[in-house]
Chains A and B, each alone.
Chain A
Amino acid sequence: MGAELTKLFELVISSSLVNNFVFTWFLGLCIYFGVSKKMETAIGMSVTFTAVMMISAAVSWLVFNYIMVPLGIEFLMIIVFIGVVAGLVQGSDTIMRKVSPVLYHKLGIYLALISTNCIILAVPLMNVGNHYNFIESMAFALGSGLGFSLAMIIMASIREKIELADVPAPFRGLPMAFIISGMIALAFTGFSGLITL
């Protein structure tokens, strides 16, 4: 049991820091650049994102192992997973609106954006590719969510400062955001080799 727990802990650390989705896999960039202009929205997005990530990883793991494998239709993986994600986002949108209008008012707009996020789809695909069991896939999803939140929050705090800086005209806006991300990514390479799974 002790060894199991260590493995899970390593999985969380590796997927959030060492193999951070934004800085080493370059996934979810549209949202990362789109929503990281203000700290408040960045935090809202991160919370919603991590929650949806865990749920969709769990559901798609169950669907894959208990429905698709017995039927021998693993090659339909992409179609089924995109359906699961879209259905989940739509479902949680409806449930949240009914159950907690306050929360919906705050986080609802992020939900719609999430369905076009490639990380949400990449995590189930990678869970299948790496043959993780259920608990391991949950740890992987949690780590990925945390890593994405970390990236969003770092980026938002830097971008709020950049607003005040005098950036050369051609670099204003996105190009500058890219250069900053490059620097953060460089810093994150410091984590490589921390854990080898």
Chain B
Amino acid sequence: MSANDEISNWELIKNGILKENTIFKLALSLCPAIAVTTKLKDGFFMGLAVVFVQVMVNLTVSAMRKFIHPRIRLPIFMLIISGWVTIVNLLMDALVPDVYKNVGLYIQLIVAFASILARAEMFASKNKVVPSMFDGIGMGLGFLVALIFVSTFREIVGNGSILGYSLFGAKPLLILVLPAGGFFAVGLLMALFNWLYARYGTRGHAG
């Protein structure tokens, strides 16, 4: 994507959520999408952590873009990302310990997210601070929305509950909360999205 001032901030957010949705369209950063989506609460906090890191990384990279020599930019970006991830990691440990117990390892592994580095490289290092912030919000929200989708689906169908409150008094399809079910859930949702895109004519296919 080229530096382009006429793209409005709203467009940037929409781009992240729909057109370049990290999980359903680009198929990046899939690990947490399967690992921490058995419960809506875990998925929500994981997504929130990603939004925070993505926005802060985009802001930092964009603010410093004139001082970073192009040849050493990747190590510098990695340093910035891992700095922010460390901060999120310590914050989550302190503020939401019960969620952190489940998602701690995956929070630390946000460092290795291809999508965050990719946005820093493709967008934030070429654009001004404000558009970069909105791009970060958009990409992060896209991830958050996808996680909420998958985890709501899995919690309702697999565990028969929502946010821990029981809905049916039974567990309709227990397999979806088992580890293997994560693959099924994401596979089915991706197919659904493909079908919707094919039917209602938006360009591009996942995968």
Contact = CB atoms under 8 A, between A and B. Distances in A.
Q: Do A and B associate with each other?
A: yes
A185 B111 contact: no
B27 A174 contact: yes
B195 A79 contact: no
A122 B111 contact: no
Contacts of A107: none
B180 A178 contact: no
B157 interface: no
Contacts of B180: 23, 182-183, 185-186, 188-189
B79 interface: yes
B108 interface: yes
Interface of A is mostly: helix
Nearest to B194: A170
A186 B86 CA distance: 34
Interface string B151-172: 0000000000000000000000
B85 to A, nearest CB: 6
Given A27-B31, A30-B28, A125-B108, A78 B85 contact: yes
A169 B109 contact: no
Interface of A: 23-30, 33, 75-76, 78-79, 82-83, 86, 116-118, 121-122, 125-126, 129, 169-179, 181-183, 185-186, 188-189
B112 A29 contact: no
**Residue among B28, B184, B191, B207 facing the most chain A CB atoms (10 A cut-off):** B191
B31 A173 contact: no
B49 interface: no
A129 B104 CA distance: 11
Contact of B105 (A29, A122, A176, A179): A122
Given A86-B75, A178-B190, A182-B187, A29 B34 contact: yes
Contacts of B178: 186, 189
B36 to A, nearest CB: 9
B111 A171 contact: no
Interface string B73-85: 0010011001101
B191 A170 contact: yes
A118 B78 contact: no
B207 A173 contact: yes
A88 to B, nearest CB: 13
B183 interface: yes
A43 B109 CA distance: 25
B97 interface: no
B199 to A, nearest CB: 9
A24 B179 contact: yes
B86 A116 contact: no
Contact of B31 (A29, A75, A82, A86): A29
Contacts of A175: 187-188, 190-191, 194, 206-207
Nearest to A167: B191
A175 B182 CA distance: 12
B198 A169 contact: yes
Given A26-B35, A173-B206, A79 B83 contact: yes
